[in-house]
Amino acid sequence: MVVINRKLIKEFQVQSKTHPDKSIRAYYEALQKIAKESKNFNKFLSNVIKKRLDLNEKHLANLIYRSTQYIMLYHNGKRNLSDMESDDWVKEYTALLSDGALQELHYTQTISENTQTTKYQRYAGPKAALRAIFDSKSINVADLGCGLNIGLPGIELDFPYLKIKDNTGDNKITQLIKDQVFVKQGISVDIYDPKEKLAWALACSFYPGELGSLEETESLIDFLWNKTRTSFYRYDAKNIARLWNEKKLPLMDAVITSTFLYQLNDEERKKTFRNIGKILKQNGILIVNDFVEVDGSLSWDVDWFEKGASSYRTVILVKNKKGFSRPYEFIVWKNARCREASAGRDFEKVINFKF
Ligand X SMILES: C[S@@+](CC[C@H](N)C(=O)[O-])C[C@H]1O[C@@H](n2cnc3c(N)ncnc32)[C@H](O)[C@@H]1O
Q: Which residues of this protein are in contact with ligand X, per CB under 6 A?
A: 114, 116-119, 122, 145-147, 151, 189-192, 236-238, 258-260, 263
Q: Give min distance, CB of 345 to ligand X, in A.
A: 23
> Phi/psi at 189 (nearest 5 deg)?
-140, 140
Q: How far, CA to CA in Å, does 215 sit from each of 102, 124, 210?
A: 25, 21, 11
Residue 274 CB, shortest distance to ligand X, in Å, is 14
- Return the amino acid letter for 41: F
Integer Cα distance of 126 and 107 in angstroms: 36
Q: How far is the CB of 121 from ligand X (least distance, A)?
A: 9
**Cα(first)–Cα(last) distance of the chain, in Å?**
53
Specify the DSSP element, H or E, that contains 283: strand 280-291
Kind and range of the H or E run holding 156: helix 151-156
Q: What gap in Å lies between CA 242 and CA 262, rounded to an integer?
A: 22
Q: Which residue is nearest to ligand X (CB)?
A: 147
Contact in structure between 67 and 200 (CB atoms under 8 Å):
no
Do 84 and 90 form a contact (C-beta atoms < 8 A)?
A: no
Quote the Cα angle for 99-103-106, to 5°: 145
DSSP string, 196-223: TSHHHHHHHH--GGGGGGHHHHHHHHHH
Distance (Å) of CA 288 to CA 260, 300, 324: 9, 12, 12
Residue type, 184: K
The SS3 assignment for 1 reads coil
Q: How far is the CB of 123 from ligand X (least distance, A)?
A: 7
Query: Helix or strand or coil: residue 104?
Result: helix
At 185, the amino acid letter reads: Q
CA distance 155 to 162: 14
C-alpha 188/C-alpha 255 separation (Å) is 10
